[in-house]
Amino acid sequence: MRDLSGRLELCAMNTATLGYQAPIADTIDAIAAAGYGAITPWRRELEEVPVETVARQIRDAGLAVAGYCRSTYIPAATREQFLANIDDNRRAIDQAAVLGAASFVMVVGSLPEGSKDLADARTQLAEGTAMMLDHARAAGVRLSLEPLHPMYAGDRSCLCTVEQALDLCEAIEPEPGPAPDLGICVDVYHCWWDAKLKDQIARAGAQRRIFGFHVCDWLVPTRDLLLDRGMMGDGVIDIPTIRGWVEDAGYDGAVEVEIFSAENWWQRPIGEILDVSAGRLQTVC
């Protein structure tokens, strides 16, 4: 496993961690000034600024783009809406290409409103991902499926485990060769509890399908299912062990901080969030 101490250039900051307090231009400068090697921006931050402008500023700041967040949910109540979702994702993939993102992060969605048909949501996910993959290959962008904790299976993600994500990768891209275009993102918040995690990370590594690694912590108690993630070291996740599995599996990309924390960290100044994250990356991750 890599030694992160004094090596913040191996780490990425997901801009959501900073609570969208500043325009993307200021966010880029702050992350670069704090010494991080990479950034993962969100689509909502690029609504007012041309993607080319943001891409140039990130490059000029010396930052890599670890990922681009995130996909529009795929499953829909109608075929028309499903196709619109895929089109929306194709446009985002084009932006990811301009940014030079290491991957486009896919949070896949789940049951459309009024539906109880989880199997159908997963069928739509498989079809939609295959459609997106053709476009992503042409654009030179890798797709990174991020399985979410099963507590989000009702709305945010019908993809709940690393195993399930890899099954989907193998179904859609059965013979990827040495450089797959479809892979996964391992976020400790979503998969730390999984008894199969170690084996599935090894399986992903053998296929070279680990495209991202996200860190934060699981607080006990967790007061909000979405917006109460902890700073690394403040919860119960054994982050070094999981990072060891991921890096032993061949992952050499960024260790990315991604914390949604509406009532705690998002209330603090950006500089403090960046500094504390930097310290924890080097001491407890």
Q: How far is the CB of 187 from Zn ion (least distance, A)?
A: 3
Positions touching Zn ion (CB under 5 A) are: 187, 214, 258
Q: What are phi and psi of 38, to 5 degrees?
A: -150, 165
Q: How far is the CB of 13 from Zn ion (least distance, A)?
A: 13
CA-to-CA distance for 69 and 92, rounded, in angstroms? 9
Q: Name which of 131 and 232 has its Cβ closer to Zn ion.
A: 232
Bridge partners for 69 per DSSP:
42, 105
The answer to whether the peptide bond before residue 50 is cis (omega within 30 degrees of 0) is no
CA-to-CA distance for 163 and 167, rounded, in angstroms? 6
Q: Which residue is nearest to Zn ion (CB)?
A: 187
Q: How far is the CB of 83 from Zn ion (least distance, A)?
A: 27
CA-to-CA distance for 95 and 46, rounded, in angstroms? 9
Q: How far is the CB of 116 from Zn ion (least distance, A)?
A: 27
Among left, alpha and beta (phi > 0; psi -120 to 50; other), residue 23 is beta
Q: Name which of 247 and 258 has its Cβ closer to Zn ion.
A: 258
Q: Name which of 82 and 152 has its Cβ closer to Zn ion.
A: 152
Report yes or no: 263 and 228 within 8 Å, Cβ to Cβ: yes
The burial of 50, by beta-carbon neighbours within 10 Å (0-12 exposed, 13-18 middle, 19 or more buried), is given as exposed
Q: How far is the CB of 272 from Zn ion (least distance, A)?
A: 22
Tabulate helix, strand, coil % of the chain (nearest 5).
Answer: 45, 15, 40
User: What SS3 state is found at 1?
Assistant: coil
Cα 262–Cα 31–Cα 50 angle in degrees, nearest 5 = 90
Q: Name which of 54 and 145 has its Cβ closer to Zn ion.
A: 145
Q: Name which of 131 and 215 has its Cβ closer to Zn ion.
A: 215
Q: Name which of 234 and 258 has its Cβ closer to Zn ion.
A: 258
Q: How far is the CB of 226 from Zn ion (least distance, A)?
A: 12
Q: Name which of 71 and 82 has its Cβ closer to Zn ion.
A: 71
CA-to-CA distance for 228 and 236, rounded, in angstroms? 14
CA-to-CA distance for 52 and 269, rounded, in angstroms? 28
Tokens 């054994």 appear where?
238
Q: How far is the CB of 204 from Zn ion (least distance, A)?
A: 15
Q: Name which of 187 and 217 has its Cβ closer to Zn ion.
A: 187
Q: How far is the CB of 14 from Zn ion (least distance, A)?
A: 7
